[in-house]
Chain A
């Protein structure tokens, strides 16, 4: 089954404790992206990647890091989480050569205390 997976689905942590949210897709998509979604603000892009070893900042990159060492994986790293990073996070992937549909992971609900 074609899908994007994220782990963990739920995470409660404390300020300053480094964490990683994993993202993996099995559709051989070149493009992968991370979003955060907050009430009233919609989806805001954090980082995106056009291919392996190619990453770029989105609209709200501060406080986040990403890497793209393999085509299928695109982890999101919070080196020192703060309460304002409490949010719902979505990973997504898209085939740049084919259709325009973007596929999302199920989301990770992060709470930083």
Chain B
């Protein structure tokens, strides 16, 4: 079983809709969580960190569920420019390594 798992998609969503996807992690000792965004053939870039109480950044909301060991990303009022692959990243604070999910591809359609 992979340490960090994501549904690869693609999720095809009409513009303006709300979309959410999850990422599960296997190591209960994981302490830090992030979502990165990767555009086609470009480098990943940090979208947002995920805090225990959940956090919001504009149209994006990230949630952490420690009991079920998953994090989620919700995008409201989706835009064409949101089309990308979203990578879930987990870090165990006992070491410096980041564990990367394979990504969920999102396609926003006009």
Contact residues in B for A100 (Cβ distance below 8 Å): 32, 34, 49, 91
Is A106 an interface residue when CB atoms closer than 8 A count as contact?
yes
B25 in the interface, Cβ–Cβ < 8 Å?
no
Chain A residues whose CB sits within 8 angstroms of the CB of B103 once the complex forms: 42
- A96-B44 contact given A40-B8, A42-B101, A42-B102, CB 8 Å threshold: no
For residue A26, CB closer than 8 A to chain B, the reply is no
Once A40-B8, A100-B34 are accepted as A-B contacts, the answer to whether A31 and B96 lie under 8 Å apart by CB is: yes
Distance A78 CA – B102 CA, assembled complex (angstroms): 24
Check B32 against A43 for contact (C-beta < 8 Å). Answer: no
Across the interface, which residues of A come within 8 angstroms of B91, CB to CB? 100
Task: Give the number of residue pairs across the A-B interface with Cβ within 8 Å.
Answer: 40
Q: How far is the CB of B59 from chain A (nearest CB, A)?
A: 20
Is B28 part of the contact surface with A, judged by Cβ < 8 Å?
A: no
Q: Which has the most chain A C-beta neighbours within 10 Å: B41, B43, B101?
A: B43
A43 and B100 within 8 A (CB)? yes
Task: Give A82 to B95 CA distance when docked, in angstroms.
Answer: 32
Chain B residues whose C-beta falls within 8 Å of the C-beta of A43 in the assembled complex: 44, 87, 100
Chain B interfacial positions (CB closer than 8 Å to A) = 8, 32, 34, 41-46, 49, 87, 91, 96-98, 100-103
